Copies of this chain bind each other. A is one copy, B any other.
Amino acid sequence: MNRILHEPVDASRVPRFAGRSTFMRLPAVDSAAGLDVALAGIPWDGGTTNRAGARHGPREVRNQSSLMRRGHHVTGTIPYELISVADLGDIEVQPIDLLAALAQIEAGIAAICAEGALPLSVGGDHLTTLPVLRAIHKADPSRGPLGLVQFDAHSDTNDTYFGNNPYTHGTPFRRAIEEGILDPKRIVQIGIRGSVYAADEHGWAHDQGIRIIYIEEFDRLGPAGVMAEVHRIMGDTPCYVTFDIDGIDPSMAPGTGTPEIGGFTTREAQAMLRGLAGLNIVGADVVEVSPPFDAGGITALTGATVLFELLCVIAAGIAARG
């Protein structure tokens, strides 16, 4: 199929506060057909155990993404010249029935995969990543379990909450491992911190072989050291990148449901995101941007910039692999 190279609305012609609010000011499309990368929102936070609000994330990340210009000032990448990418809108998902919602999200992502496009989504809480991974995995089971690069304050590998609820935003990666979607030995979690429920909180994760880089180790390794570790573990195997905005320090991303002080900075985050170059990325997301708890849109702006960094590295990867 012919790829059409979509362009953002030009801000030197139409001001940034004007025009339709889409991701990166790209055209709004109704199908992923012909796209290399489909930008999609997942406005759902039914897995949230504490403060809800990430359901409003896609709208505000779209709004703030109007501040993004066309190209990357460090790598020189202009994604719109390399790949076909557009705003597919929001996955249709309702806030009342949790299991039905997971199915809706999976169906929405499956439709993207069916068109051969790579899903780059904006949550929603972190439980949304589970159905996204299910859809990507099912789209090509021959790839086997995926690797995962996870920027986050929390491991999200707990078992259950509030009795026996297996599905919350604190459990997605345990479920994905159990379901054979993720290879725990190719999971790297970066920025983990904060008080814990129990001394062996991460015992299960460690037992599975997950590589947890706590913020204290991050402090010693620096962004370059951390990304070297990521490349060592991931190599060229297919992997998914998930960026929980609460990995970043709450002074730079206050609008999130479970903030933990002492996180990495945006400067450090950007250095790491650029270090993803060369990985075999099959999908990515930015999650847990919660506008009702934001201050002046700064978290949504941070989320939009992370999204742009991911788009650039993915576009360069697609272009490089032909």
Contacts and interface: CB of A to CB of B under 8 A. Distances in A.
Contacts of A270: 261-262
B292 A51 contact: yes
Nearest to A264: B267
B21 A43 contact: no
A113 B49 CA distance: 29
A192 B73 CA distance: 9
Contact of A161 (B12, B45, B269, B293): B12
Given A96-B162, A163-B100, A214-B73, A259 B295 contact: no
Copies per assembly = 6
Contacts of A236: none
Given A67-B259, A296-B293, A199 B76 contact: yes
A215 to B, nearest CB: 7
Interface stretch (A177-185, A247-255, A277-285): A247-255
A284 to B, nearest CB: 18
Nearest to A52: B52
Contact of A216 (B22, B71, B74): B74
A91 to B, nearest CB: 8
Contact of A13 (B21, B58, B162, B265): B162
B249 A14 contact: no
A225 interface: no
A143 interface: no
B259 A267 contact: no
Given A18-B41, A96-B168, A97-B98, A72 B302 contact: no
Contact of A73 (B19, B71, B76, B194): B194
Nearest to A255: B296
Given A52-B55, A96-B165, A98-B97, A196 B70 contact: yes
A21 B21 contact: yes
B96 A161 contact: yes
Would you list the 5 A-B pairs with minimal beta carbon distance, nearest first?
Answer: A94-B162, A69-B195, A292-B292, A52-B52, A261-B266
10 contacts: A11-B49, A12-B158, A13-B162, A16-B50, A71-B199, A96-B162, A100-B163, A195-B305, A249-B266, A295-B296
